[in-house]
Each structure stands twice: as structure tokens, then as C-alpha cells.
Structure 1
């Protein structure tokens, strides 16, 4: 949708920008979640082109006047924008590479000149321009192993096979000061190294030079997670150099290479600068001959050799900007957006000697979110349970190291048990395991030191019991299921019967691993016997990707999680804040819980870098809003347990808001029989192993297939991260998810549609509950396979039928409806934009019961119903709790 200012040329003629002594002021856009910013030129004036997370594009003057904007019809992650005068009219066009498979081109008026979309679906991530004499070439690439060449009209000129998934394409005078060529970098792994890195002749596409990742000169680069790459001449030889910004084991890193792959400059951070998954961005400031590196909360200035000149900010500090752009005309550095969804533009005046010491106050969307959460927190602290809401007899269990706000002590709606987690690694001999499993039993996790004896660990448990300190131990991982051996686990349960809340296991998804099989067949029965002597102890299993919706239906796991043998102590969890396909895991765990296969499930809130495509995912967020909203949705569907740990980036009061919701009773403990927002079900039969393994193998980017989109769980492989999904896909059709990136809060316009095994069929049929069946790849109709593209109609009909059975449906929010008593329900409404917070207009449609009263239990606002509909707003980044009386 195009919106061009009628006063476009008048604005440009009246506003005098970037004259001596005149610098732009910070401003707030009317956009959402700014991800990209580049400086462009319209006539003799500089402008700022802006790209939003979900594909929106706009153009602003440097004073903050919006000239035009554009919203694509198909939302997906916008990976790159490039400003270039491709038609030589004196004004820059804007090129955009969108993960929806389209390259867009706009003129300076914001008119869409053309769009390029290949016949077969591609996730485009890069676009670049090469100019030689009067010839202009446009290059684009993505995940399908081809480099596309387009002319200035968007017509395809050539299609060149390449090795790996495109990570970066840039045009520049790399080899020759008078001739531009093409820099290309591709990946095969989702985080490290490269498959191809070198220069191509733009005319012939022949390789001019390339470098192997085994080249000893580049040892620091090959182990880095590179999150930003730019092209600049930093040594004044009239040839372009490649600048890499990122981290090495959570320490900041900057490396610059020339076209011979010699290291021109290098900065390697130290341990004092460590920040987990900090957002790294960099820019060359030509007027000062300096390099700016933002690493999380730290902003560093380097010289062209990599020596540090100055530093501002602090570890896990504030104002972590999404992107930067250098404006040489006004000698300013532009900082755009923020990693948690900001829409602000800030400026650094580079004429100041120590410009980097400039501080910027929070403004725009994230200031709005902060104020909204402050209001919410105060409302919660003042909340009193209504007479019709009985306190739960069950307690919340939060495994966390978070500091608890003393203000929570006054809340008495529901008890919250705060549990610590420790991670001892046992040094006991493993020869008995080797005798059974072979030498694979000796494999250990490189992330830990195995120095704790069995006696040490048991004594630790005894000490916790004496101090009445509730605790859990992290007891195993896919790298090593035997952090703590079974004999030790049994003894811990024996010596700490009141304080041991169980054991955590992570990412043990590989069904062919003999260690995993041994754990399931030998450890689990023994743990079941020991745990059942200790009522509160649980086993918490953390799996990401789409384990709970698909992998758990493989035979080994299905017998464990869906047999009912262990439902009293198994607690499924997932890395809920680091999973691009979290909607699937959400529906899977709801299906396990509401289907009666487990008694509890857990929210897992963790500060890991989101596993969309990691180098292009945002780092840790300052705002607690994403974690808070995800936790609320989990709890609203029955997650009574939490394994939570936000990063140092998160501002106070942090997750105390979540704990306050729990302890006050605003967020009730939800029993499965009280959930009133489940409309229909998706049952899994004969789960497709090939599809599962292609998704679970998330480090491997080289898996492109033309029919990846023809699946019920489609485009879930890592190399598709950020792309839009088809309307017949389960996530789109049932949960309202538009693209797989950070869509952890599905809008579920027709109610929640849980995922469960085919064995639930008879129960659902007895209750006359609608359902559909697939193997995750294809659907089933009358026992026959039906392609996903055809099966989409079945999904739509089933969920619409199910939606009509519910008391109400909601549009515009992530939501849950929970029964409080025979005459009252609580509607929980959450802003669904994980790192795209916005004020949301919500419509509630009442269907089968006429409400007597609808009110916000915190603000006390009462709402009217007109034509069986009620409209209200959710504050950006926040939530509302609406009680409905019948």
C-alpha cells in the first residue's frame, strides 16, 4: 500500500539539510520495529530510507518528515535495503530483498517500479548493485544456490549456480580501482564459517579470487558469528575492503580484509566485554577515518588498524540500536530502531571530538512499552481477587535466578515457589556405561568441567535440604545425557525429599543415539520409581525446533511422552524465546497437556540468540516485554512451571511482572478442563521422519528443495527462516502465523488448535470435537494421503467448524479464555508482536452465550457489546485481563 506525501517536492525545496553547523534532531517515526536504515539521495538532498521487520518500507527527510511508505501484501522478514541511482536521473532508487521471495524497486517518489519473483519460491536475503561505465547490474540471492542478475527494469539477465546459501553480496572496486566486481559470501552452517567467499567478475560471473575458511590468516574470522558486513575503502588505496562485525565466544570482534584476503585491521575483545548474544553492528566513518562497533550495550570507536580510540556505554547497557547509517554530507551517524522493536531515529554529531559519549534517552515505541508495563505492574500490585475467583490449591514453580522484588510479598492470590538450578557435572568413572554403549559413553559436553564427585553432588543436595532451599539439577544434554549418573540421581531424591524439585534435560532429541536410548530404557524407569517417593520432583525436558509438535511422535519418544506411563512427572519445555517455529512447540505442548498425556508443562524463557538465522537475528532485548508476553501465553494454556532466565540486557522490574501476575491471581493457575479457547485439534499419524530430520538438523543450511512449501508444517528448515508461509500451512491456517521468525504469539483467530497423536481420535469423536489428521508433510482424507496444498481446505473447514462451538473468538490478539466458575471466565489478551510491539485493536465476537458484564479487572473499565461484538485496545507490548460474567 503506497502513501506519497502530496507536499513531497515542497518539503524537499523548503528544508535545508546538512549545511554547516546544522544537524538533525532525534525523531520518532510512525513505523514499527525498524530493522534497516540507509542514506539515499533525492536531487541534492539526503534522505533516510527505512526498512521494518515485516517488510514495510519508507522514506524520511533527515528532519523526520515522512515522504512515502509502502507495506507489502505478503509479510515476511525484510533482510536488506540498498539505495542506488540505477537509472542515472540524479536520485536514488530503493531496492529491497524480502524473505517473501521478492526483490522490490522503488523510485524516489515511492512508486513501485518493478518487482522480481522467481517461478520457484526463494527466500531472498541480499541485493547489490554494480556500475561499470554506463552499465548497471543488479544482483540478488537467497537460499536456492543461485545468483540472479537483473537489469534496471527487473528483467532477469542471468542465473549463476553458487555454493551454499547467500550470506552477503556487495558490489565495489575490489580488484581494480576503475572496475567494479562482486563480493559473494555463502554459508552452509547457520552460524560459523563460510562455504564460498570471494570475488566474481560481474560481466562473466567467473571467480576472480576465493579464500578457504581453513586459511590460517582468517582463523579468528572463521570461528566468529558475523552479524554485520560492510564495504569501504579504509586504507585509502582506492579499492574497497570488506569489514566484518560480530562476536567470538560472546566477545566483540571486528576484522577488515582487502581483496587479497590480507587482514588490514582487527579488534578482538576481552573477557570483560562478554555479553551473551549481543547485537553487533558496525560502520566506517570516512570523514573521521574511524570505525564504529556497537556490541550490545557497548559502543566502541576504532582506528583503521583496529586499535580502540574510545568507548561508551556498558555491558548489557541500554539503547541497543538495530542498525546504523553514515551520512557524510552532514557528518552524522544515524542510529535506527532498537532490537526489541523500537521506531526511533537518533543522531551522533561526528564533528564533536568525543562524539561517542553522546547519550540518547529512550523515546518512541519502546518508551511507550516501558510506560505501559509500569502501569500494568502497579495495577497488579494493587489487585485483589474477586469473590468468584478461588485461589488455586496448586503453586506456581519458577526455576530461576531472577531477583525477586520485595513488593511481591504483599500479594496472596497464589503461592509461587522459587527454585534454584545448579549444574554439577559428575566425575565418576563410566566404565560400566562403556561396557553397554561403547566409547560413545565417554563423550562429554565441552561447555562444562566434570570435576564433581558423586559424594560432592549428594552433599550439595543434603545442604539444600538442611537449608530448606528448593533446587533442581541440570542433569543431561544431547551432548552428554549423563551429566549426573542414575545412582547419584536416586540418592539425591532420597536425601532431599522436600527440596529436590527434579532434574533438567536438554536437546536429547536424537532417537538413534545409543546414549539417549539407554536413558529412556534404563534411567527413566528407575527415576520413575525414585521420583514417586517424592511428590514434587519432576523431569523437565527442553527441546526446541518442532520437537513437541512432530519429533515427539517418533516411536521412542511417543512411547515415553504419550503412553501415560510417566505423565505424573514429565514436564515438557522448550526454548520459548529462541525458536523460529515456536508456534508449533506451543501447540504441541498444549496438545500433550490438554490431551491428558502429561499433567504439567513448562515455559522456557531464556536469553539465547533466537534461532531464526542466527547471524541475522537480533541480539538480547532490553525490554522484558517479549519474555513477559510469551510467559503469559504459556501460563494461560496451562504452563504451571517455568525455567526462566533473562539476560543482563533486560531492564527492571524484569520478570517480576510475570511473577506478580502469578502471585496476585491475575494470571490464574490453569487446569486443562478450564481452557475454553480450544476450537479443534490436529492429530498426527505416522509422522514424516524425513521432514522432522530436515528441521531438527537446524545447523545445516544446504537443504533447499523446490517442494519445501508443500507440507502441512512447511518451510520450517533453518534456511527458510524469515520467509512467509502458505495459507494452507497449519501455522497459517490454524494459528494465524504469517512468517517463521519470532512469531511466538500466534493470534489464533479461530481459537487454539493443539497437536496430539492419532490415539486422541476416539476421545475427540466422543465429545464431537472437530479434528484433522496429517503426518506433518501430507494430510489424510478417508485414509488416503492428500497433498498439503489440497489439504488446506480441510484444515480451514475444520477450524471454522470448531470456532463456531466456542463462546467467543478474538481477532487482533494472542489470547486464551479460562473458566473461573460456572458464571465467570477470564479472557487474557496479549499484544502478539514479539519484537514488533504495537497498540492493537481487538475485536471480541460473542457467539453462543450472551455476557452480562465485561470488565478489565485491572483498570476497572467496563465494555459495551454491540451486535454481539466488543472492541478494545491492548497497549503496545502489554496485555489485558478481561472478566466476562454470564
Structure 2
């Protein structure tokens, strides 16, 4: 296989006892990379009187002290570059995106030299037209500078952002790919119950060429799906570890984590460094379904439902009966509720309830959720593995309706059968698929080799699992566990794999027919 792609841990703390190992991995393998995470308790006090948006002129984050000067922010951030390959810090937040002014941010980026600067913007979830001002006044101008300095802007949003808000016209410059080398799509998913959709939506934006990278985050409150009834400070990191294995195996390279038990998590770093956990390019992945969802500007009710995940007191049974959606039961009234028969999470991802599906099974291949249009379709075919070139099929939706190629609306509660059958039929065109309560990823590492990652899919309820691997468009010669060296018999078109509780397995699958990865 080729040299491993670098994975950037932006906010992880490396224990002192492992500093030498981390340095050796970076020198020997070029991965993982650990940035210096800078927390700005004091943010910039600058003159906003000329801002045209009254809303954002007056916004402040109550957790911050607005006492620092531009020079003080600049000095703190640039000094943090010493001894590290780069830094990561909040440039702002949904509560106030302007915690550091644009001129100061530009000074920092321009002073970073060849070191990497990642500016993080958490919780940018304002879908109103007012936010267009922030994009045009702050984020797009900052992206223009970051493009010149080879730095990144990390868009860490919440809820249904990558299925809804990103398809509003104000975000068109991100979707166009103009800043594909700058913006990194990520998520903050506390209290969310649609993780199986958000990962498909970020992958959809990435594979369509809107961005060159994508990211993921793990924090102690990830297991919470109902803040009012749960203690949201989980200190057991096993589910974080498995979630990171899954996202990195799908090509995520920018990780924004809250440190929990770094000695425990360090096994992930070594798996990355030694290439056991294969980090694929988008043109190497062969576990995407040939069927995808093409998103158009979202239906307003669908967007409102998917982004109001905390309230539980406004349940309206009459509204629920009269309004059906492609993605059902997404508001805060439905924590842990069973999914409807036609829900896309059920027919595509194999989910059965609205819970924290951070490790979805997608038994027929992961169904990408991405932008609709000829430009995106062309870029998708250019970016994906060549096997997808002539087998892709798109279903268009605004979240409420499906739309046929001639523009006719189709209700999800009946049209889902067409979509579901297409997903099942298309799976037979893939090299392989995996069934069971596991998450899985397959990527071509060489013409006759597929890397298969299989993970215990019980995010909150780890257990011993059995995974059934079915080979379709390829003939297996050997299936070898990269850690134990065990070889699994492949006399049939199916193979059964045991996955221990709370763990994952990495396989090299030798195949008879070549599947050359895209350059």
C-alpha cells in the first residue's frame, strides 16, 4: 500500500510518557499529527460599530471575557506555534462568530509560515438570511486568505446542517468547491439522534468535491440524546474509540476531540501510524452504495423539525399525522422512538430507532447524501472509484418529498419501496457488503487488495458481534486479519467474522479480479 495519509488531531492531549512515540511516528510515518490546541478564555474587544448587521454587531458569548486586544490575541496564537506543527483555536462560535476580528485572524494566518492553522467555528446553525452577512463579511474573506496561506476553516455544526442549511444559496461558495482546500465539514452532535445521516451528508459533500477533507468530533456529552434526563459527562471512552476508527476508515482526517483517557485512546494513534487503520482517499472507497440522495433546497418544515432536537413539550399528534417526511421523527419529541417503515434511516442505514447511531450498519453500502445537479454528478463520478462511473443512481429529495426526473412529487410513505429496492439491487454491483450489528468500510489499497474494517456497532451497548461478509463483483482469494495474522476460509461467497465486544478488526482481502484505485 501507499504511504499513509496524515490524520490531524487538532485538540488531543498527548501524555508526557508518549511524547517520544508521537514524535517518532510523525518522523517515521508522517502520521498522526498533533496540533497545539489554544483556548481563548479572553477574546478580542474590537470596534463593531460599523457592522451592518445589528444582530451580529450585538452578539456576545457569555462564556468569554471580551478584554483582549488584537496584539494580545496575535501574540498568544503565534507564540503557540513554537514547537508544534500547527495550532487550532476557536475563531468564533454560533453565539458570536466575531470573537476574533477578521484583521487579527488574517495576521495570524499570514504569520504561520509553513505551519498549519485551523480556525474552528462551532455551532454555526443560524439558517436565517441574517447569517449571510457573516458569510460574506467574515468566513468567505477569511477563506480567501486561508487559501493563500494553506490553512483550514473547520465548520463544526449541529443537528441537520449538512442535510439542510448547507443547501441554502448563501452557502453556495462552499458547495461550489471554490474553497475546497479550506473548509472542513464537521459536526457537534450532542442531543442529536441522526448521526447515521450526518456522516452520509458530510461524505456526500466531500465526495462531490465541495471540500477536500472532512472531520469528526468526540466529546464527553456525545452519548446524550435527551439532555434533560441524562448526565452528559461520559468518561468511558470505548465508544469514542470505535467511532473514530469508523470515521477515519471513511477518510476523515481532521479530528476535534475532547481528551478523556488518552492512554486508552493512544492505541488509535499507533494503528494510524503503522497503517493498520487504512485512511483512504475518496477514490479508493468501495463501500458506498451506487444509490445516492441528491438534496435540493430543504422543505422549511423538514428543516425546522430536524434542527429542533431539544424541545419535548410541543408534540402535536395532528401535525404528525398530516406531515410525512423522507427523514421521520427528527424533532425533540422522539428520543429513542421506533422509526417509521418508510424512514430513510431504516431503509438505507439499517437503523430502527431515533438514537445515537454513530456506528450505522448500512448493510447495502453507505448511501451518500449530497448536492443535486449536473456539476456535482460529474464531480462525483470523477472523484469516486472507477467502478461507480456507470452504475450511480440518484433519488432527489427536499426532505419532505421525493422527486422523479420529470419533477413530480412522490410521497415517502409509498415511494420508499422504490428507493429501498434500488438500494438492495445496487448492492450486488459492489465488491462486497457486510451485514450484522457492525459498522464497516471497504477501500481498495492495491489492484488485488481491499482493506476491510469491521467494528462492533453497539455504540451504547457493545457486545460480541457476528458479521456476514458477502462477495458480489469480486472473487476472494484470502481474508487475513492484519493484527492476529489469522486467515479466514473463503471457499464460499460469504464469510462470517467474529468481532469481540467493544472492538474492531482490520482485514486485508486478496481478490482475483483487479480493482485499480483512482489516482
Give the TM-score of the pair, scaled to structure 1. Answer: 0.53
Q: Secondary structure at the match of 1:719?
A: coil
- Aligned residue for 2:473? 848
**How many angstroms apart in 1 are the aligned matches of 2:421 and 2:133?**
43
**Partner of 1:796: helix, strand, or coil?**
helix
- Contact kept? 2:10, 2:35, Cα under 8 Å: yes
Q: Structure 1 residue 420: deviation in Å? A: 2.2
For the residues of structure 1 that align with 2:432 and 2:96, how far apart are their CA atoms?
A: 47
| Corresponding residue to 2:433 among 786, 804, 809 | 809
Name the counterpart of 1:751. 365
- Residue 666 in structure 1 maps to residue 271 in structure 2: no
CA deviation profile, 1:316-349 (whole Å, cap 9, x unmatched):
xxxxxxxxxxxxxxxxxxxxxxxxxxxxxxxxxx
Q: 8 Å contact 2:164–2:297 — kept in the other structure? A: no
**Alpha-carbon distance, 1:703 to partner:** 4.4
Aligned residues: 490
Which residue of 849, 862, 869 maps to 2:487?
A: 862
Distance (whole Å) between structure 1 residues aligned to residue 497 and residue 478 of structure 2: 15
Q: What does 1:644-683 correspond to in 2, within 5 Å? A: 644-647=257-260, 650=261, 653-679=263-289, 680-683=291-294
Query: Residues of 2 paired with 1:753 and 1:868: CA distance?
Result: 23
Shift in Å at residue 489 of structure 1?
0.5
Query: What's the CA shift for 1:634?
Result: 0.8
Pick closer, same or farther for the CA change 1:578–1:600 going to 2, 3 Å.
farther
Quickly say closer, same or farther: Cα 1:441–1:611, change in 2 above 3 A.
Answer: farther
Q: Which has the larger radius of gyration?
A: 1
Residue 168 of structure 1: aligned partner: none
Structure 2 equivalent of residue 819 of structure 1? 444
Report the CA distance between 1:439 and its aligned residue.
Answer: 5.9
Instruction: From 48, 61, 68, give the equivalent of 1:431.
Output: 48
Q: CA RMSD in A?
A: 2.1
Say whether 1:793 aligns with 2:417.
yes
Within 5 A, what are the aligned runs for 1:170-569? 389-392=1-4, 394-404=5-15, 405-406=18-19, 407=21, 411=25, 412-424=28-40, 425-434=42-51, 436-438=52-54, 440-468=56-84, 470-512=86-128, 514=130, 516-535=131-150, 537-557=151-171, 559-569=172-182
Matched, 1:575 2:188: yes
Distance apart, 1:550 and its partner CA: 2.4
Asked if 2 retains the 8 angstrom alpha-carbon contact of 1:578 and 1:606, the reply is no
Structure 1 residue 409, shift from structure 2 partner: 5.4
Contact 1:408–1:663 (8 Å) recurs in 2: no
Q: 1: CA distance between counterparts of 2:295 and 2:504?
A: 33
Higher mean alpha-carbon deviation, 848-857 vs 700-709, is at 700-709
Can you give the 5+ residue segments of structure 1 that lack an aligned partner in the other structure? 1-388
User: Which of 295, 298, 311 is 1:700 aligned to?
Assistant: 311
Note if contact 1:396-1:641 (Cα within 8 Å) is conserved in structure 2. Answer: yes
Q: For 2:348, what is the secondary structure of its paired residue? A: helix
CA drift at 1:708: 7.6
Instruction: Considering fraction of residues, name the structure with more strand.
Output: 1
Equivalents in 2 of 1:433, 1:654: separation in Å? 50
Q: What is the alpha-carbon distance in structure 2 between the residues aligned to residue 669 and residue 690 of structure 1?
A: 38
- 1:467 Cα deviation (Å)? 4.0
Partner Cα distance (1:675, 1:708) in 2: 40
Contact 1:413 1:663 in 2 (8 A): yes
Q: Distance in 1 between matches of 2:311 and 2:505?
A: 40
Following the alignment from structure 2 to structure 1, what is the Cα–Cα distance between the partners of residues 142 and 133? 13
User: CA, structure 1 residues 685+700, in 2 after alignment: closer, same or farther (shift >3 Å)?
Assistant: same
Structure 1 pair 452/878, CA: closer, same or farther in 2 (3 Å)? Answer: same
Q: Which residue of 2 aligns with 1:732?
A: 346
Query: 8 Å contact 1:478–1:508 — kept in the other structure?
Result: yes
Q: Distance in 2 between matches of 1:462 and 1:527?
A: 17
Aligned-pair CA distance for 1:849: 1.1
Partner residue in 2 for 1:836: 461
Q: Distance in 2 between matches of 1:553 and 1:570?
A: 15
Which has the larger helix fraction?
A: 2
Alpha-carbon distance, 1:474 to partner? 0.3
The whole-number CA distance in structure 2 between the counterparts of 1:657 and 1:578 is 28
Deviation of 1:426 after TM superposition, in Å, equals 3.2
Q: Check whether the contact 1:572–1:589 (CA below 8 A) recurs between aligned residues.
A: yes
Contact 1:492–1:500 (CA under 8 A) maintained in structure 2: no
SS at match of 2:161: coil
Conserved? CA contact 2:36–2:80, under 8 Å: no
What is the distance in 2 between the residues matched to 1:619 and 1:612? 9
Q: Deviations over 1:223-264 (max 9, x none)?
A: xxxxxxxxxxxxxxxxxxxxxxxxxxxxxxxxxxxxxxxxxx
Whole-Å separation in 2 of the counterparts to 1:439 and 1:531 = 26
Counterpart secondary structure, 2:63: coil
Deviation at 1:837, TM superposition (A): 0.2
Displacement of 1:681 after TM fit?
0.8
SS of aligned partner of 2:162: coil
State the SS of the aligned residue for 2:138.
helix
Secondary structure class of the residue paired with 1:803: helix
Secondary structure, in 3 states, of the residue corresponding to 1:681?
strand
Q: Which residue of 2 aligns with 1:249?
A: none
**Aligned residue among 274, 299, 314 for 1:688:** 299
1:513 is displaced (CA, Å) by 5.7
Task: Give, in whole Å, the separation in 2 of the partners of 1:708 and 1:663.
Answer: 53
Quick check: 1:595 aligned with 2:218? no
Provide Cα deviations, 1:550-599, integer angstroms capped at 9, x if missing partner: 22222222x03311111111001112565321111100001111221110
Higher relative contact order (CA 8 A, sep 6+): 2
Distance 2:392 2:238 in 1: 35
